[in-house]
Amino acid sequence: MTRPDPAPRPGAPAAPGTRPGAATWPDSPLLALADDALVLSHRLGEWAGHAPVLEEELALANIALDLLGQARALYSELGDEDELAYLRTERAFRNCQLVEQPNGDFARTVIRQFFFSAYQELLYGQLAELGHPLATKAVKETEYHRDHAEHWTLRLGDGTEESHARAQQAVDALWRYTGELFQPLEGPEPVGAVDWTALREGWTERITATLGAATLTVPETPQRGAWTAGAGRQGLHTESFGRMLAEMQHLHRSHPGASW
């Protein structure tokens, strides 16, 4: 007895040899930038109700909302923002591994933010010069994010013995995820025209200066682990990312099209 080929069910395993979703999701370097923003936004959102003080909770939420706005603008350029955010699986996300790292303590969150915002400010600065409209608008946001994280880095690093130790621990732990940031994103302009060497130099200069002023040591360890070499950009993520994604996507997946 023969049956007609059933239509592929959503979520069904893909045929062997094809990567799920590989053909359906846009292959644009902007997707990586959008994923960076969305994932870090979600991580920062996890502080809501848990931040050390009310003032800082609002600051983190503000930064998270800025990033969410950037992600939405970029996703809309590429397709349907809800589908891109909520219906891709872990392997289809192109964010760097730095942004998916768990919040940890406040120092860990601050250092992660400083590493990323310093990068994003320089990257969006270049993209703005190349004429990308979102980057032109968002570069001021990233400048503030970097400034905020930088001020906290100085205070934690050059603060108490405890805050210094925690900040240094955060720097050491996150350092291995920073090399990936400068792996060139292939694709059309403007992202394709970014000068990644200059970006790396600018970033290193800023990080070195601020960590020095904060009495923190710039690690001499490699900026990538054996298995982290540019992996986030290829869809390979660290363990905690799957859980974060499950939490972020479960409402949309459980109630498709829900609105209020």
Partner 1 sequence: MSGTDWPLWEVFVRSRRGLSHTHAGSLHAPDAAMALRNARDLYTRRSEGVSVWVVPSQQITASSPDEKDPFFEPAADKPYRHPTFYEVPEGVRNL
Closest distance of CB 86 from partner 1, Å: 27
Residue 97: burial class (beta carbons within 10 Å; 0-12, 13-18, 19+): buried
Number of residues that bind partner 1 (CB under 8 A): 12
Measured CA to CA, the distance from residue 39 to residue 117 in angstroms comes to 13
- Cβ distance to partner 1 smaller for residue 210 or 228: 210
Closer CB to partner 1, residue 61 or residue 229? 61
- 112 vs 148 by CB, closer to partner 1: 148
Give the span between the Cα atoms of 167 and 208, in whole angstroms: 14
Comparing CB distances to partner 1, the nearer of 62 and 89 is 62
Task: Supply the minimum distance, in Å, between the C-beta of residue 204 and partner 1.
Answer: 25
CA triple 208-210-214, angle to 5 deg: 115
Nearer to partner 1, 14 or 58 (CB): 58
Quickly list DSSP for 124-154.
HHHHHHTT-HHHHHHHHHHHHHHHHHHHHHH
Residues 143-172 that bind partner 1 (CB under 8 A): 147-148, 151, 155
Ranges within 3-62 binding partner 1 (CB under 8 A): 52-56, 58-59, 62
What sections of the chain are H helices per DSSP?
A: 29-45, 54-78, 81-86, 97-100, 106-129, 133-157, 161-174, 196-213, 239-254
- Least distance (Å) between residue 72 CB and partner 1: 18
Note the residues at the interface with partner 1 (CB under 8 A). Answer: 52-56, 58-59, 62, 147-148, 151, 155
